[in-house]
Structure 1
Amino acid sequence: MVEPAFQSDAVENRFAAYAEPMRDRLLALRALIFETAAATDGVGAIEETLKWNEPAYIAKTGTTIRINAHKKSETEYALYVHCQTDLLDRYRALYSEELEFDGNRAILFDGAARLPTDPLRHCIAMALLYHQKA
């Protein structure tokens, strides 16, 4: 995965503040978001910013994606989407065997496991195109 340049010092500083190996896990997730956006027709440019001090990714065509260490664990991390979307219901319907979920807003990842890139790419694309109901 290609690691894109940070769009702001604030985001770069936030990533620098994560302890190892969490930083590497979140950077891999960040790279997958940018890679998926570039490979998904109709997404366009991604804005990278901080929301609630978490790295956030916004496309005009979709809902905001945030990533962070999971608050309930020292080894888990998560990809968050807006809780008022139906995305987690859709993700569960498609990937309940491959992914772990937290409520109506997050996909959880075990820090010791490989990132489930194939289902995750699809989930990211669905969020980036949410307003088009991809």
Structure 2
Amino acid sequence: MTRPFADTQVEGVFDAFDDTARPGLMGLRDLILDTAASDNRVGEVTEALRWGQPAYLTPVTKSGTTLRIAPHKSASFALYVHCQTTLMSDYTAEFPGRDRIDGKRAVLFGDPSEIDPMRHGWLISRALTYHL
């Protein structure tokens, strides 16, 4: 279910994404918002722009670390986590060899069909509750 945008600037960035990246980025957006809504520890998620990219923050509960989604130079689109966390190493230990990874910072996607709600939802949930 696609939710409306609360921030017109964020919506404008999504509108500007090319047709190859936008469907996957919308899929990741939905997964982030659905994952947050399913965990009462997360609280309200704010969608904002960080470095010109859609970012997802937990400003009320401060339960999580920032997630970002955007096109990537080596893939159609990517899910970014803060590189100074253990999130990506935890993820690759839990799901070894399952995804293309960009160092400590991103899961890379070539197509929306590669989004796995269970596996990528696990990473999103860990990011949204990282500080708990």
TM-score (structure 2 length as normaliser): 0.92
Q: How high is the sequence identity, in percent, across the aligned residues?
A: 40
Could you say which residue in structure 2 is the equivalent of 1:30? 29
Could you say which residue in structure 2 is the equivalent of 1:90? 90
CA distance in 2, matches of 1:47, 1:112: 23
Aligned positions of 1:1-134 closer than 5 A: 2-59=1-58, 60-73=62-75, 76-111=76-111, 113-132=113-132
Q: Deviations over 1:84-126 (max 9, x none)?
A: 1011110011012322211011111122643122111111000
What is the total number of aligned residue pairs between the two structures? 129
Pairwise CA RMSD of aligned residues? 1.3
Gaps of at least 5 residues in structure 1 are none
Kindly indicate whether the alpha-carbon contact (under 8 Å) linking 1:49 and 1:57 is maintained by their aligned counterparts in 2. Answer: yes
Kindly indicate whether the alpha-carbon contact (under 8 Å) linking 1:7 and 1:49 is maintained by their aligned counterparts in 2. Answer: no
CA distance in 2, matches of 1:40, 1:93: 23
- TM-superposed CA distance for 1:40, in Å, is 1.6
**Where has structure 1 moved over 3 Å in runs of 4 or more?**
none
Gaps of at least 5 residues in structure 2 are none
CA distance in 2, matches of 1:110, 1:95: 18
- TM-superposed CA distance for 1:15, in Å, is 0.3
TM-score (structure 1 length as normaliser): 0.91
Q: Which amino acid aligns with 1:44?
A: G
